Each structure stands twice: as structure tokens, then as C-alpha cells.
Amino acid sequence: MGSTLVAVRLAGDGFELAWVGDSRAYRIGAERIEQLSHDHSWVQAMVDAGQMSAEEARQHPRRNLILQCLGQGEQAPEVGLLHARLAPDELLLLCSDGLTGELDDAAIQRCCAEAETLEAMVEQLVGLANSHGGRDNISCIVLGLAPAAEPREAPPRGLLRKLFKPRQS
């Protein structure tokens, strides 16, 4: 049995996203949600080929069959990669399939829009997924850019001179 992965590296207002399997990453705004990762699963391959709708994939008995994972066999997995920017009013949600197996994108977006803090958002997402059945492990993390720091005034030079007197040699 292998493991799925979704990971992010933040750099300024940009980020690099990597995933293997069906753990997902979303960009969330006040009134929208965008799936950034692309599942490495059998049902996603069927959706991509036009043989199944996204809604059929959510209910299909083989929805948990993943095509790529870590720690399975000798061949290295194909890692999905994305480089993008994050606006100050956007969040990133990284989550396991336990969350997305219980909640559709609209429910995730509503829950995120209603939460007062990032911590509350995670608690509410996990709680809602558990209340919908919680049939798989449910894990998620939400992150965003910190607001820009207010510029600070430099202390007066006179004070520095008083506090840090030069040594006389």
C-alpha cells in the first residue's frame, strides 16, 4: 500500500505545488474555489477521457483507486507540479481525499467563507466531513499570505548613540 502527497512551498507571493495520488490542493477566494491539483486516480482518468462525469466519479465504487502513489513498487511516481501566485485575499487548502470524499467543492467553499479564523476553518471542514460520514482519514491545512507589515520608523539617531556609546580606545 502506498501513500498520497500534496505539498506546497511558498516564496513571496508565489508558490510551488506538488502532488501524487488523490490528495488535493485548492485556491479559495471569498466566492470561488479552484482545484489546482489533478487527481492521479482511475476515475479521474475516466473523466478526462469523457467516459464518466465528475459526479459519476464521486459515487463510483472505484473512486479510491489511485494510479500514482509514493512507496509502491520500484518505479518512481509521476509527480504533478504547478507554479502560481497567491493573491492576498486567497487561501490555499491542502487536503486528503477523506475531506473531498465527503464534501463537494461548493460545501468546502461555503465552509471556508463562513469561518472566522484559519484554525476555525480547519476545525469546521473536518467536523463537517465527519458529520457526512467520515469514512476515510480526514486531514487538511489552510494557509495564506500574511498581511504586509506596516513600515516602521527608524528610531532617532540620537537615541542609538545614547544606548550604544562607541568604545574609546
Give residue 154's pLDDT band: very low, low, confident or very high (50, 70, 90). low
* Domain extent for 101: 5-163
User: For residue 168, is it within any domain?
Assistant: no
pLDDT in tens, 72-125: 878 889 999 999 999 988 999 999 999 999 999 999 999 998 888 999 999 999
Q: Per this entry, what is the length of the chain?
A: 169
User: For residue 97, is it within any domain?
Assistant: yes
The more confidently predicted of residues 158 and 151 is 151
Return the CATH number at 40: 3.60.40.10
Would you state the cell numbers that stand for residue 101, as one nine-digit string? 470524499
The more confidently predicted of residues 157 and 92 is 92
The tally of domains found in the chain comes to 1
Would you state the cell numbers that stand for residue 52, as one nine-digit string? 464518466
Is 130 a residue whose pLDDT tops 60?
yes
User: For residue 88, is it within any domain?
Assistant: yes
Give residue 165's pLDDT band: very low, low, confident or very high (50, 70, 90). very low
User: For residue 169, is it within any domain?
Assistant: no
User: For residue 89, is it within any domain?
Assistant: yes
